[in-house]
Amino acid sequence: MSEPHAPDRYAVIGHPIAHSKSPLIHGLFAQATGQVMEYTAIEAPLDGFSTVVQAFRAQGGRGLNVTLPFKLQAFELATDPLESARLAGAVNALKFEGDRIYADNFDGLGLVNDIQRNLGVSLAGKRVLLCGAGGATRGAIVPIALQKPALLAVANRSADKAHQLKRDFAAHVALQTGGFEDLAGESFDVVLNATSTGLTQAALPLPAGVFATGALAYELVYGKGLTPFLKQAQAAGATHIADGVGMLVEQAAEAFAWWRGVRPDTRPVIDRLTVPLV
């Protein structure tokens, strides 16, 4: 009899990493699709990302998910960053083939897939607002723009940082940018919180009227219940609220399909990880 095939090795790398749901998610995907693979979590020292990645490759590792704070370092390490990674300037998935390190960023695509497939909200023709001008917003701009919204706006505490995104993405989308105070008198069908306030339990200085009647309010962090942003949205009459658990699972599914060539069903995993918004 032939020896059983050793499982292909994958992992998520970050600092800290103990909280990560990625091993559970990819384990469920592998089980559901019959893939012979193992997926673990690696906590790399803050000054040792590249060393840990190269050691993982040398031991036969096939791919990595990358989380905070290493998404920029992963971009620098890649030999072949794909277009979405280049536009985001950050990477959340690596694939190792020979001496090549391929890199992509599936965060924005995962977000769009969750909104449209799972929440049933089409972005076409909608007025969409991204709150925040950091890495999460950078990764979301082009995937959202490809859905042809009527307007895509970025607001940030520092208007200058938002305006820089307008310049950076000028070849791909005409962004409306400014500070939160510049939103006065405007309303949006989809409002996404891509700031860290969901983790710090701080409120955003959003003017009254930002949430249109029937708006979707989407908090990119997950598992934190009703964050101040979602409470703001509810108080303003938003009828549809969601956190980022679906985005988490959908971006994982994109990486899994990129690595394994098979697309897992995300619904059972989202249902398992969903925390009620109370």
User: What pLDDT is attached to residue 2?
Assistant: 47
pLDDT tens digits, one per residue of 70-110: 999 999 999 999 988 998 888 999 999 999 999 999 999 99
User: What pLDDT is attached to residue 4?
Assistant: 62
Burial class (CB within 10 angstroms; exposed 0-12, middle 13-18, buried 19+) of 247: buried
| Global pTM value | 0.94
What residue type is 225 in one-letter code? Answer: G
Which are the catalytic amino acids?
71
Element (H, E) at 169: none
Residues of the chain with pLDDT under 70: 1-4
> Among 130, 132, 131, which residue's Cα sits nearest to residue 142?
130
Q: Which domains does the chain have, with CATH numbers?
A: 8-105 (3.40.50.10860), 108-245 (3.40.50.720)
User: Is beta strand 127-131 parallel, antiparallel or unpaired with respect to 93-97?
Assistant: unpaired
pLDDT tens digits, one per residue of 119-156: 999 999 999 999 999 989 999 999 999 999 999 999 99
